[in-house]
Amino acid sequence: MSSPNDHHNSGGPPRDERTGPLDSLPGLARIGAGMWLRTARWYVGTGARVGARLARAAVSPEAANELADEAAHELRARARRLLGIVDSEGRVVGAFSDMFADRLGSSATAAPSLRERGELLLDASADVHYEQGTHPAYERILADLAPDDARILRLLAGGGPQPAVDVRAGLALVPGSRLVLQGYSMIGAEAGCRFVDQVPAYLNNLHRLGLAWFSRDPVRDRERYQVIEVQPEVIEALRAAGRFSHVVRRSIHLTPLGEDFCRLALPLETAELEALGSHQAPDEA
């Protein structure tokens, strides 16, 4: 008869009496079995809760609506935990890009880590057979653009850099002057923006996305500034700045990323624009 201490004499590791059957499995198999058990427990618990909710929903329209809302919320929450990515409308998007999926193969079941993504990018950069196509950021950029943003991009792509001015209080070329009006331009009117008062926000958004940048240099045609400098906003800023106020001429440009984005994502040719058709102006309230 063996004694309780025989395992010490066998040379093997001591056995913890609290270990279960999963601990005897190899590493990956143990992880997979553990995930299966957790999923099974979740289904059992969820089934009981859903059964009670369905009973209430059968006799109450309000309970039915609450059940639908809770189910959608729970699905989004679980998708967020499992995939880590849920868009602004609650729709599940891919756990990683098509390039990552292609290189990981069909056997991949989870999104790669940041380090693995970096390794995949470097691996793709060394692959002479890899073709990128459009930049992967362009699809996300489109989702972050307002219609007037697109009009401004089209103007910059077709008309080149646009003039803008700052108004400063103090003598020109003397350090310490105070900024009174920054980056005023006619881009909103020139681009045909519907919400001209939102142009500063549009330009900030385009700069945030890396599509536009603000240069300290003026455009070559200095006569283009004459129209801007007689606008009421500029004249009022000069008056508010005092006797020694002055105008600083700037310009707004597309970045190389913005140029490529406009070329690939926006209709810029006349025929393409005409094919878009026209829309009737909304009735005035």
**pLDDT tens readout for residues 8-59:** 444 444 444 445 554 555 554 554 555 555 555 655 555 556 566 656 656 6
Contact indicator for 212, 252 with CB cutoff of 8 Å: yes
HSE at residue 122, side-chain half, CA atoms within 13 A, is 5
Residue 81 CA to residue 42 CA, distance in Å, equals 14
**pLDDT tens readout for residues 226-247:** 999 999 999 999 999 998 899 9
Residue 250 CA to residue 212 CA, distance in Å, equals 14
What pLDDT is attached to residue 85? 42
What pLDDT is attached to residue 96? 45
Contact indicator for 198, 148 with CB cutoff of 8 Å: yes
Closest CA to 203 of 156, 159, 237: 156
What pLDDT is attached to residue 268? 73
Contact indicator for 148, 123 with CB cutoff of 8 Å: no
Q: State pTM to two decimals.
A: 0.56
At 92, is the secondary structure helix, strand, or coil? strand
* DSSP symbol at 250: E
Torsion of CA 186, 189, 195, 200, to 10 degrees: -10
